[in-house]
Protein backbone atom coordinates (compact mmCIF):
# COMPACT_ATOMS: atom_id res chain seq x y z
CA UNK A 1 0.00 0.00 0.00
CA UNK A 2 1.31 3.43 -0.95
CA UNK A 3 0.01 6.52 0.80
CA UNK A 4 -0.94 9.28 -1.64
CA UNK A 5 0.56 12.11 0.39
CA UNK A 6 -1.28 15.33 -0.39
CA UNK A 7 0.85 17.41 1.98
CA UNK A 8 4.12 16.44 0.25
CA UNK A 9 2.72 16.73 -3.27
CA UNK A 10 1.04 20.08 -2.58
CA UNK A 11 4.27 21.42 -1.02
CA UNK A 12 6.21 20.56 -4.17
CA UNK A 13 3.63 22.31 -6.38
CA UNK A 14 3.51 25.31 -4.03
CA UNK A 15 7.29 25.64 -4.32
CA UNK A 16 6.99 25.80 -8.12
CA UNK A 17 4.24 28.41 -7.87
CA UNK A 18 6.29 30.48 -5.41
CA UNK A 19 9.24 30.41 -7.85
CA UNK A 20 6.96 31.62 -10.66
CA UNK A 21 5.77 34.48 -8.46
CA UNK A 22 9.39 35.48 -7.79
CA UNK A 23 10.04 35.53 -11.55
CA UNK A 24 6.98 37.75 -12.08
CA UNK A 25 8.26 40.14 -9.42
CA UNK A 26 11.75 40.17 -11.01
CA UNK A 27 10.13 41.05 -14.36
CA UNK A 28 8.26 43.93 -12.72
CA UNK A 29 4.88 42.25 -13.28
CA UNK A 30 2.04 42.19 -10.79
CA UNK A 31 1.57 39.11 -8.61
CA UNK A 32 -1.63 37.00 -8.84
CA UNK A 33 -4.44 38.27 -6.63
CA UNK A 34 -7.16 35.98 -5.23
CA UNK A 35 -10.24 37.24 -3.40
CA UNK A 36 -12.49 35.08 -1.23
CA UNK A 37 -16.05 35.98 -0.27
CA UNK A 38 -17.29 34.43 2.95
CA UNK A 39 -20.82 34.91 4.28
CA UNK A 40 -21.69 34.08 7.90
CA UNK A 41 -19.80 32.21 10.60
CA UNK A 42 -19.92 28.54 9.51
CA UNK A 43 -16.92 27.03 11.35
CA UNK A 44 -15.80 24.73 8.53
CA UNK A 45 -16.11 27.50 5.91
CA UNK A 46 -14.07 29.87 8.11
CA UNK A 47 -11.33 27.24 8.40
CA UNK A 48 -11.26 26.53 4.65
CA UNK A 49 -11.24 30.18 3.62
CA UNK A 50 -8.51 31.01 6.14
CA UNK A 51 -6.45 28.09 4.79
CA UNK A 52 -6.87 29.45 1.25
CA UNK A 53 -5.77 32.94 2.29
CA UNK A 54 -2.78 31.52 4.20
CA UNK A 55 -1.75 29.48 1.13
CA UNK A 56 -1.78 32.69 -0.94
CA UNK A 57 0.63 34.28 1.53
CA UNK A 58 2.91 31.23 1.41
CA UNK A 59 3.43 31.48 -2.37
CA UNK A 60 3.54 35.29 -2.51
CA UNK A 61 0.06 35.92 -4.01
CA UNK A 62 -2.02 38.89 -2.95
CA UNK A 63 -5.25 37.91 -1.24
CA UNK A 64 -8.37 39.75 -0.12
CA UNK A 65 -10.92 38.30 2.26
CA UNK A 66 -14.41 39.80 2.07
CA UNK A 67 -16.32 38.57 5.13
CA UNK A 68 -20.00 39.57 5.32
CA UNK A 69 -22.62 38.84 7.98
CA UNK A 70 -25.16 36.03 7.60
CA UNK A 71 -28.00 38.51 6.99
CA UNK A 72 -26.47 40.15 3.89
CA UNK A 73 -29.10 40.35 1.14
CA UNK A 74 -28.78 38.65 -2.24
CA UNK A 75 -28.70 42.10 -3.90
CA UNK A 76 -25.83 43.27 -1.69
CA UNK A 77 -23.88 40.12 -2.45
CA UNK A 78 -24.52 40.59 -6.18
CA UNK A 79 -23.09 44.11 -5.90
CA UNK A 80 -19.91 42.67 -4.40
CA UNK A 81 -19.72 40.18 -7.29
CA UNK A 82 -20.08 43.02 -9.81
CA UNK A 83 -17.29 44.94 -8.07
CA UNK A 84 -14.99 41.91 -8.13
CA UNK A 85 -15.79 41.32 -11.81
CA UNK A 86 -14.83 44.88 -12.75
CA UNK A 87 -11.86 45.29 -10.39
CA UNK A 88 -8.77 44.97 -12.62
CA UNK A 89 -6.55 44.17 -9.62
CA UNK A 90 -8.45 40.91 -8.91
CA UNK A 91 -7.39 37.93 -11.06
CA UNK A 92 -9.78 35.39 -9.57
CA UNK A 93 -12.18 34.93 -6.70
CA UNK A 94 -14.32 32.39 -4.94
CA UNK A 95 -17.62 32.63 -3.11
CA UNK A 96 -17.41 30.05 -0.35
CA UNK A 97 -20.34 27.63 -0.25
CA UNK A 98 -22.73 26.98 1.37
CA UNK A 99 -24.42 30.39 1.27
CA UNK A 100 -27.30 31.20 3.65
CA UNK A 101 -30.62 29.74 2.49
CA UNK A 102 -32.14 33.15 1.65
CA UNK A 103 -29.52 33.66 -1.07
CA UNK A 104 -29.73 31.81 -4.38
CA UNK A 105 -26.37 30.11 -4.91
CA UNK A 106 -27.25 29.65 -8.57
CA UNK A 107 -27.94 33.36 -9.11
CA UNK A 108 -24.61 34.29 -7.50
CA UNK A 109 -22.76 31.65 -9.50
CA UNK A 110 -24.18 32.87 -12.80
CA UNK A 111 -23.05 36.44 -11.99
CA UNK A 112 -19.37 35.46 -11.61
CA UNK A 113 -17.14 36.36 -14.57
CA UNK A 114 -16.10 32.90 -15.89
CA UNK A 115 -12.53 34.16 -16.44
CA UNK A 116 -12.31 34.97 -12.71
CA UNK A 117 -14.21 31.85 -11.59
CA UNK A 118 -11.18 30.02 -10.16
CA UNK A 119 -13.51 27.52 -8.43
CA UNK A 120 -14.59 26.35 -11.91
CA UNK A 121 -18.26 26.27 -10.86
CA UNK A 122 -19.73 28.60 -13.54
CA UNK A 123 -21.60 26.69 -16.31
CA UNK A 124 -19.17 28.07 -18.89
CA UNK A 125 -16.23 26.45 -17.10
CA UNK A 126 -18.18 23.24 -16.43
CA UNK A 127 -19.00 23.04 -20.14
CA UNK A 128 -15.46 23.82 -21.20
CA UNK A 129 -14.01 21.13 -18.96
CA UNK A 130 -16.64 18.61 -20.15
CA UNK A 131 -15.71 19.34 -23.78
CA UNK A 132 -11.94 19.29 -23.14
CA UNK A 133 -11.60 23.03 -23.84
CA UNK A 134 -9.40 25.32 -21.73
CA UNK A 135 -11.30 26.37 -18.59
CA UNK A 136 -10.94 26.38 -14.82
CA UNK A 137 -11.20 22.86 -13.38
CA UNK A 138 -12.83 22.69 -9.92
CA UNK A 139 -10.04 22.56 -7.37
CA UNK A 140 -10.86 19.28 -5.59
CA UNK A 141 -11.12 17.05 -8.69
CA UNK A 142 -8.17 18.91 -10.24
CA UNK A 143 -6.15 18.19 -7.09
CA UNK A 144 -7.08 14.49 -7.18
CA UNK A 145 -6.08 14.20 -10.84
CA UNK A 146 -2.72 15.81 -10.04
CA UNK A 147 -2.19 13.47 -7.09
CA UNK A 148 -2.82 10.43 -9.33
CA UNK A 149 -0.42 11.93 -11.88
CA UNK A 150 2.26 12.69 -9.27
CA UNK A 151 2.31 9.06 -8.10
CA UNK A 152 1.98 7.64 -11.63
CA UNK A 153 -1.20 5.75 -10.73
CA UNK A 154 -2.43 3.78 -13.75
CA UNK A 155 -5.93 4.77 -14.83
CA UNK A 156 -6.33 3.66 -18.45
CA UNK A 157 -9.06 1.06 -18.92
CA UNK A 158 -9.82 0.95 -15.18
CA UNK A 159 -13.29 0.79 -13.70
CA UNK A 160 -13.75 3.86 -11.52
CA UNK A 161 -16.65 4.64 -9.23
CA UNK A 162 -17.34 8.12 -7.91
CA UNK A 163 -19.53 8.16 -4.81
CA UNK A 164 -21.48 11.41 -4.87
CA UNK A 165 -22.76 13.62 -7.68
CA UNK A 166 -22.12 17.08 -6.23
CA UNK A 167 -21.32 19.88 -8.65
CA UNK A 168 -18.19 20.66 -6.62
CA UNK A 169 -16.62 17.19 -6.59
CA UNK A 170 -18.53 14.13 -7.85
CA UNK A 171 -19.73 15.30 -11.24
CA UNK A 172 -16.51 17.05 -12.38
CA UNK A 173 -14.45 14.13 -11.00
CA UNK A 174 -16.41 11.68 -13.15
CA UNK A 175 -15.96 13.91 -16.20
CA UNK A 176 -12.20 14.13 -15.67
CA UNK A 177 -11.73 10.39 -15.10
CA UNK A 178 -13.39 9.51 -18.40
CA UNK A 179 -11.33 11.99 -20.48
CA UNK A 180 -9.23 10.65 -23.30
CA UNK A 181 -5.92 11.51 -21.65
CA UNK A 182 -3.83 10.61 -18.61
CA UNK A 183 -4.96 10.47 -15.81
CA UNK A 184 -8.25 9.33 -17.29
CA UNK A 185 -9.57 6.84 -19.83
CA UNK A 186 -11.52 5.17 -17.02
CA UNK A 187 -14.94 3.57 -17.34
CA UNK A 188 -16.83 5.64 -14.80
CA UNK A 189 -19.86 4.93 -12.62
CA UNK A 190 -21.44 7.73 -10.60
CA UNK A 191 -23.18 6.43 -7.48
CA UNK A 192 -25.62 8.53 -5.45
CA UNK A 193 -28.38 8.27 -2.87
CA UNK A 194 -30.68 6.32 -5.25
CA UNK A 195 -28.03 3.87 -6.45
CA UNK A 196 -28.80 0.22 -5.75
CA UNK A 197 -26.13 -1.97 -4.16
CA UNK A 198 -23.24 0.49 -3.93
CA UNK A 199 -21.20 -2.15 -2.08
CA UNK A 200 -21.18 -4.50 -5.07
CA UNK A 201 -20.41 -1.71 -7.52
CA UNK A 202 -17.45 -0.69 -5.33
CA UNK A 203 -16.21 -4.28 -5.12
CA UNK A 204 -15.90 -4.42 -8.89
CA UNK A 205 -14.09 -1.05 -9.11
CA UNK A 206 -10.36 -0.49 -9.55
CA UNK A 207 -10.61 3.13 -8.40
CA UNK A 208 -13.00 4.45 -5.74
CA UNK A 209 -13.46 8.18 -5.16
CA UNK A 210 -15.61 8.73 -2.07
CA UNK A 211 -17.24 12.17 -1.84
CA UNK A 212 -20.50 11.77 0.05
CA UNK A 213 -19.70 13.19 3.49
CA UNK A 214 -20.61 10.02 5.39
CA UNK A 215 -17.78 9.17 7.79
CA UNK A 216 -16.43 5.65 7.43
CA UNK A 217 -18.96 4.74 4.69
CA UNK A 218 -16.49 2.73 2.60
CA UNK A 219 -15.68 -0.40 4.58
CA UNK A 220 -13.08 -3.11 3.88
CA UNK A 221 -15.64 -5.57 2.46
CA UNK A 222 -16.52 -3.01 -0.25
CA UNK A 223 -12.95 -2.75 -1.55
CA UNK A 224 -11.20 -5.25 -3.77
CA UNK A 225 -7.55 -6.17 -3.32
CA UNK A 226 -5.25 -3.67 -5.03
CA UNK A 227 -7.87 -0.95 -5.52
CA UNK A 228 -7.01 2.76 -5.51
CA UNK A 229 -9.04 4.65 -2.89
CA UNK A 230 -9.43 8.43 -2.83
CA UNK A 231 -11.17 9.90 0.21
CA UNK A 232 -12.72 13.35 -0.19
CA UNK A 233 -14.70 13.23 3.07
CA UNK A 234 -13.82 15.64 5.88
CA UNK A 235 -16.58 15.31 8.47
CA UNK A 236 -15.92 16.94 11.84
CA UNK A 237 -16.54 14.47 14.67
CA UNK A 238 -16.63 15.68 18.29
CA UNK A 239 -13.39 14.76 20.09
CA UNK A 240 -12.75 16.17 23.56
CA UNK A 241 -9.06 15.15 23.39
CA UNK A 242 -8.44 17.70 20.58
CA UNK A 243 -7.81 21.38 21.21
CA UNK A 244 -10.33 22.24 18.47
CA UNK A 245 -12.93 19.90 20.05
CA UNK A 246 -13.23 17.80 16.87
CA UNK A 247 -11.31 15.46 14.61
CA UNK A 248 -11.64 15.01 10.87
CA UNK A 249 -12.99 11.70 9.58
CA UNK A 250 -13.06 10.67 5.94
CA UNK A 251 -15.70 8.71 4.02
CA UNK A 252 -13.41 5.67 4.18
CA UNK A 253 -12.79 3.36 7.14
CA UNK A 254 -9.05 3.98 6.63
CA UNK A 255 -7.52 1.51 9.10
CA UNK A 256 -9.46 -1.47 7.75
CA UNK A 257 -9.41 -0.45 4.06
CA UNK A 258 -5.78 0.71 3.67
CA UNK A 259 -4.11 -2.76 3.84
CA UNK A 260 -6.22 -3.95 0.86
CA UNK A 261 -5.36 -1.01 -1.41
CA UNK A 262 -2.51 -0.27 -3.83
CA UNK A 263 -2.84 3.49 -3.19
CA UNK A 264 -4.94 5.39 -0.67
CA UNK A 265 -5.27 9.01 0.50
CA UNK A 266 -5.23 9.77 4.24
CA UNK A 267 -7.62 12.19 5.96
CA UNK A 268 -6.34 14.73 6.79
CA UNK A 269 -3.31 15.24 4.53
CA UNK A 270 -4.64 13.71 1.31
CA UNK A 271 -7.12 15.52 -0.93
CA UNK A 272 -7.44 18.67 1.25
CA UNK A 273 -4.00 20.18 0.60
CA UNK A 274 -4.30 19.28 -3.11
CA UNK A 275 -7.56 21.24 -3.32
CA UNK A 276 -5.94 24.37 -1.94
CA UNK A 277 -2.88 24.21 -4.15
CA UNK A 278 -5.08 23.65 -7.22
CA UNK A 279 -7.02 26.81 -6.39
CA UNK A 280 -3.66 28.61 -6.40
CA UNK A 281 -2.84 27.08 -9.80
CA UNK A 282 -6.18 28.25 -11.22
CA UNK A 283 -5.46 31.75 -9.90
CA UNK A 284 -2.02 31.71 -11.50
CA UNK A 285 -3.57 30.65 -14.83
CA UNK A 286 -6.29 33.35 -14.55
CA UNK A 287 -3.62 35.95 -13.82
CA UNK A 288 -1.44 34.88 -16.76
CA UNK A 289 -4.42 35.12 -19.15
CA UNK A 290 -5.27 38.66 -18.14
N1 LIG B 1 -17.47 24.62 -0.22
C2 LIG B 1 -16.90 23.39 -0.13
N3 LIG B 1 -15.89 23.27 -1.02
C4 LIG B 1 -15.83 24.44 -1.69
C5 LIG B 1 -14.98 24.92 -2.72
O6 LIG B 1 -14.09 24.23 -3.24
N7 LIG B 1 -15.22 26.19 -3.14
C8 LIG B 1 -16.21 26.96 -2.61
N9 LIG B 1 -16.38 28.19 -3.11
N10 LIG B 1 -17.02 26.54 -1.65
C11 LIG B 1 -16.81 25.28 -1.19
Question: Angle 194-154-226 (CA atoms, 0-180°, nearest 5)?
Answer: 65
Tell me: pLDDT of 290 over 90.
no
119 CB within 6 A, ligand 1: yes
Pocket test for ligand 1, best of 94, 98, 100 (most atoms within 8 A of CB): 94
Going from the Cα of 252 to the center of ligand 1, the distance in angstroms, rounded, reads: 21
Q: Please name the fold of domain 139-271.
A: Rossmann fold (3.40.50)
Task: Point out the ligand 1 atom lying closest to the alpha carbon of residue 139.
Answer: 6
The sign of the dihedral angle between the CA atoms of 226, 227, 230, 236 is negative
CATH 3.40.50.10860 residue ranges for the chain: 28-114
Q: What is the mean pLDDT of residues 260-265?
A: 98
Percent of the chain at pLDDT > 70 equals 100
Judge contact between 233 and 249, C-beta under 8 A: yes
pLDDT in tens, 10-56: 999 999 999 999 999 999 999 999 999 999 999 999 999 999 999 99
Tell me: pLDDT of 120 over 90.
yes
Going from the Cα of 98 to the center of ligand 1, the distance in angstroms, rounded, reads: 8
CATH 3.40.50.720 residue ranges for the chain: 139-271
CATH number for region 28-114 = 3.40.50.10860
Tell me: pLDDT of 265 over 90.
yes
Atom 7, ligand 1: residue with shortest CA distance: 96
The sign of the dihedral angle between the CA atoms of 240, 140, 84, 80 is negative
Judge contact between 197 and 158, C-beta under 8 A: no
Q: What is the mean pLDDT of residues 250-270?
A: 98
How confident is the model at residue 50, as a pLDDT? 96
153 CB within 6 A, ligand 1: no
| pLDDT grade for 77, boundaries at 50, 70 and 90 | very high
- Could you tell me which of 272, 231, 286 has the C-alpha nearest to residue 6? 272
- Could you tell me which of 97, 93, 15 has the C-alpha nearest to residue 282? 93
Going from the Cα of 239 to the center of ligand 1, the distance in angstroms, rounded, reads: 25
Amino acid sequence: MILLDGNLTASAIKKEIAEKVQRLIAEGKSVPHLAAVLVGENGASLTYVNAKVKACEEVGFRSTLIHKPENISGEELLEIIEQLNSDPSIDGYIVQQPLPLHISEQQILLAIDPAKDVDGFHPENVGRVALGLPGHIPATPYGIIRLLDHYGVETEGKNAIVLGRSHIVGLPMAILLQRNEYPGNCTVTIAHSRTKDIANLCRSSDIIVAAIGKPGFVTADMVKEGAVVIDVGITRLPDASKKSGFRLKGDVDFDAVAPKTSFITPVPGGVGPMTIVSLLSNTLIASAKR
